[in-house]
Amino acid sequence: MKNRLSLLLLFFILPGIPEAMAEKVRVAVASNFVTTLRALSKEFTATSGHTVLISSGSSGKHYTQISNGAPFDVFMSADAQRPRLLEENGLTVPKQRFTYALGKLALWSSEPELQGKDCKHLLMESKFNRLAMANPKTAPYGLAAQQVLTQMGLWETLKSRLVRGENIGQTFLHVATRNAPLGFIALSQAVQADNGTCRWDVPQEFYTPIQQQVVLLNRGTNNPAATTFMTFLKSDQAVSLITRSGYGTL
């Protein structure tokens, strides 16, 4: 509530920030969160006047780009490890790292013939030729999918049938276009698509919690759009939208 009041106070003090004062915040965001970020950006711009420039992709690729000097102000990762490493390497503003969302994993299909079927049962039967998942080396949701398959004793059986997306966005497309009959995607993607034929919301005990963390990068230190955006992410307005999009919050 304190964060929300601080944000509202800022907006009341500066109602309708003049165009000359409006700034742009460049955000590198994990592909699973890009649709939600677009919705957040509209509300942020409407209340602050600032503009959000979005660059989506795998958290691993963004981490490498930022480490090599990519001009981003804010990094919204799909994990906690990469923001922490950037902080340890002195590339972020101290004490600005926090968890903005808890990612959830789902097994999903868009195949018409699987309408109403039990996705978990289909996975255990393994009577399909391809299973989509994100690359475990670059995407936290891919690592979570690998953990699920390992825990279920299916990793060795299915690893030769995997279709790996570079990120969870590509993975979703593999399943949505039926390149793969089943796939592990972010629950938020399944919620937003709202047109799947079967879905299994994977229980949390099957994989390590996906804490999606955000950091304010050094480049954004003196950018009012970046610092205001970080405050906005903690507001009740933002938290409510994030929750409705299929994520958990702390």
Instruction: Give 8-24 pLDDT, tens digit per residue.
Output: 444 444 444 444 467 99
Question: How does the average pLDDT of the chain come out, rounded?
Answer: 91
User: What residue ranges define each of the domains in the chain, with the CATH number in brackets?
Assistant: 2-102+210-244 (3.40.190.10), 105-201 (3.40.190.10)
Q: Per the structure block, which two tokens stand in for 244?
A: 């409705």
- pLDDT for res 10: 47
Distance CA 201, CA 215 (A): 28
Q: Lowest mean pLDDT of 18-27, 71-80, 145-154, 169-178, name the range.
A: 18-27
* DSSP-assigned letters across all residues of 2-17: HHHHHHHHHHHHSTT-
Q: How confident is the model at residue 165 (pLDDT cuts 50, 70, 90)?
A: very high
Percentage of the chain modeled with pLDDT above 70: 92
Q: Per the structure block, which two tokens stand in for 64?
A: 């490498």
Coil/strand/helix, residue 188: helix
Instruction: Give 18-56 pLDDT, tens digit per residue.
Output: 444 679 999 999 988 999 999 999 999 999 999 999 999
Report the alpha-carbon angle 55-172-196, nearest 5.
135
- pLDDT for res 44: 98
At residue 27, what are phi and psi to the nearest 5 degrees?
A: -115, 125
Distance CA 216, CA 220 (A): 6
Instruction: Give 229-248 pLDDT, tens digit per residue.
Output: 999 999 999 999 999 999 99
Instruction: Give 97-142 pLDDT, tens digit per residue.
Output: 999 999 999 999 999 999 999 999 999 999 999 999 999 988 889 9
Q: Per the structure block, which two tokens stand in for 188?
A: 């938020």
- pLDDT for res 21: 63
Residues forming beta bridges with residue 216, ordered by sequence position: 74
